[in-house]
Amino acid sequence: MAASLTEIPVATLTGAARRAARIRPMSDSTAVITPAVDALRAIGWPFDARSPDWSDWASLLAAHPDARAARVVEQHRSGYIVAEAPGEGYGVESLPDWAKPSGYRAGRTDPTERPGVGDWLLVEGEGNAAKAVALLPRRSAIKRAAAGEHYKQQLIAANIDVVFVVSGLDGDFNPRRIERYLLLVHGSSARPVIVLTKADVADAATVAEAREALATVVEDGVDILAVNARDTASVAQLDRWLGPGRTAVLVGSSGAGKSTLTNSLLGIERMKTASVRENDSRGRHTTTYRALIPLPQGGCLIDTPGMRELKPTGEEAVADTFTDVEALTGECRFRDCSHEAEPGCAVRAAILSGELDAQRLASYRKLADEVAGAAGRLATRQQQKSESRPGSPPSGRRPDTRPGRR
Ligand SMILES: Nc1nc2c(ncn2[C@@H]2O[C@H](COP(=O)(O)OP(=O)(O)OP(=O)(O)O)[C@@H](O)[C@H]2O)c(=O)[nH]1
Ligand SMILES: [Mg+2]
Ligand SMILES: [Zn+2]
């Protein structure tokens, strides 16, 4: 049974927040506990008391009457830090399944079914006794396939509204890599925005060339911003995606300026940054963990470590992000045209006429192959998982963190 509107905010309260709470009756006789919801909202709580689309969350809250909601703000090897208000992070004991080695073997939780930064958990108990009892369903998630021999997915961030794809206008700039990011964002239910950093050190021609190179890569309606990430006034261009209740994640290679952007948006040097190598603009993998940071703009920002490799999970729809190539494919004389030597090939004609960039076609093919390969490995894993049976007894694990550390 779903909780009523009156029950819901109560269940999200604890400790000081519960004591500070005031019940404010509303005209239709529902009640909202203002301060606590405000605190949760400052860390991205997406609902107000009348949101129509949260019945799955409400029923989980009703199933755990002693629990309250908290958001995963940091993820370390040793465990999770959650928060119920800005600046009030504490460690929680994981559900036993989340602490087990990841994989698809008997009884193990899929790596992307355990919490990541941005997820909302239900938590019971205070201080050292605080433990997670449930993961609230995700509204969106961005994932990739993890590096390594075996197929594994990795959650990059959960419950996000916007993905800022960050790229430096230096040696880091690579439209093919941005294309790859856009493919992963497409499946996430979040909106992509491309942020080109280091505009202050690039000349006007470089900025114009980058925009032109991206014109064929991005779908209509995707914004492309050029910023000086070190400059507060310049990064204010991102504010329109960072209002109250919103969560954005920064993705991009090391040295692109993700943490520099974070600090400028925040107004303080919260994240460590480091200069890039001069010869090839590569970063030094300065950020080593994902962190969700409430911003003065009202929304939240997730800073992430630079990604070396961006492999598709197999769930992406290449056709949806390569609509230009797909449209041409539909005009080829043969339905199964390989665009190699067949007569009446619209794709080759478009390349000859300059309408389609040969590199764009090459990326399309490469990504389509990769997605198909990953989809095959994913299907095999899921098959193996469904054939195996649940195994070993649970064992809890607690991260080594002091309450109220952040
Ligand atoms: N001039 C200028 N320098 C920038 C800009 N953005 C980033 N930088 C510099 O680029 C270097 C790398 O920036 P970081 O913010 O550490 O990069 P990152 O993306 O967080 O890198 P990782 O944490 O390693 O993934 C730092 O020296 C920044 O000062 C910019 O817009 N203009
Ligand atoms: Mg960083
Ligand atoms: Zn063709």
Rg (CA), the chain: 23
- What residue type is 404 in one-letter code? G
Ligand 1 proximity of 290 Cβ (cutoff 6 Å): no
Q: What DSSP string runs through 95-161?
A: PHHHHSPPSSSTTPPPGGGS--TT-EEEEESSGGG-EEEEEPPPS-EEEEEPSSSS--EEEEEES-S
Per-residue pLDDT, 400: 44
**Domain 322-366 falls under CATH 3.40.50.620:** no
Name residue 350's amino acid. Answer: A
Residue 38's alpha-carbon distances to 19, 42, 46, 291, 299, in angstroms, are 14, 6, 11, 21, 12
Q: Is the CB of 263 under 6 A from ligand 1?
A: no
Q: Which ligand is nearest to the CA of 286?
A: 1
Nearest to 185 by CA among 285, 310, 291: 310
Given this model, what pLDDT does residue 35 score?
55
Q: Which amino acid is at 149?
A: E
CATH entry, 141-303, from 3.20.20.370, 3.40.50.11540, 3.40.50.300, 3.30.930.10: 3.40.50.300
Q: Please, where in the chain does CATH 3.40.50.300 lie?
A: 141-303
Tens of pLDDT, residue by residue over 187-237, are: 898 999 999 999 999 999 999 999 999 988 888 889 999 999 999 999 999
The predicted pLDDT at position 21 comes to 38
Any ligand 1 atom below 6 A from CB of 156: no
Distance in Å, CA 215 to ligand 3 centroid: 23
Residue of minimum CA distance from atom 13 in ligand 1: 257
Q: What is the pLDDT of residues 21-55, one digit of tens each?
A: 333 333 333 334 445 777 888 899 877 656 666 77
Q: State the sign of the Cα–Cα–Cα–Cα dihedral 176, 181, 182, 187.
A: positive
Residue 283, ligand 1, Cβ within 6 A: yes
CB 215 within 8 A of CB 356: no
What's the Cα-to-Cα distance from 383 to each of 19, 108, 148, 250, 379, rounded to whole Å? 50, 14, 20, 34, 6
The secondary structure of residue 231, as a DSSP letter, is: -
Q: Give me the sign of the Cα torsion angle 239, 244, 156, 291.
A: positive
Whole-number pLDDT of residue 78 = 76
- Report how far apart, in Å, the C-alpha atoms of 5 and of each of 59, 151, 343 are: 11, 42, 64
pLDDT given for residue 53 in this prediction: 67
The boundaries of every CATH 2.40.50 domain in the chain are 7-135
- 3-state SS assignment for residue 244: coil
What per-residue confidence (pLDDT) applies to 384? Answer: 81
Ligand with the closest atom to the CA of 346:
3
d(CA 190, CA 299) in angstroms, rounded, equals 15
Report the pLDDT averaged over residues 269-287.
Answer: 90
Instruction: State the chain's mean pLDDT as an integer.
Output: 83
DSSP for 313-349? -S---HHHH-HHHHHHHTTSSSTT--SSS-TT-HHHH
Judged by DSSP in three states, 175 sits in: helix
Q: Which residues contact 122 (CB under 8 A, 6 or more apart)?
A: 60, 61, 64, 67, 68, 69, 70, 132, 133, 134, 135, 136
What distance in Å separates the CA atoms of residue 369 and residue 286, rounded to the nearest whole number? Answer: 32
Q: Is 378 a pocket residue for ligand 1 (Cβ < 6 Å)?
A: no
Please, are residues 69 and 40 in contact by the beta-carbon 8 Å criterion?
yes
Each residue's pLDDT tens digit, 241-260? 999 889 999 999 999 999 99
> DSSP secondary-structure letter at 120?
E
State the distance from the centre of ligand 1 to the C-alpha of 73, rounded, in angstroms: 22
Instruction: Give ranges for CATH 1.10.40.50 in the chain.
Output: 322-366
Q: Tell how far the Cα of 77 is from the centroid of ligand 1, in angstroms.
A: 25
Whether 234 lines ligand 1, by a CB cut-off of 6 Å, is no
Instruction: Name the fold adopted by 7-135.
Output: OB fold (Dihydrolipoamide Acetyltransferase, E2P) (2.40.50)
- Range with the poorest average pLDDT among 57-66, 82-91, 273-282: 57-66
Tell me how far the alpha carbon of residue 256 lies from the centroid of ligand 2, in angstroms: 8
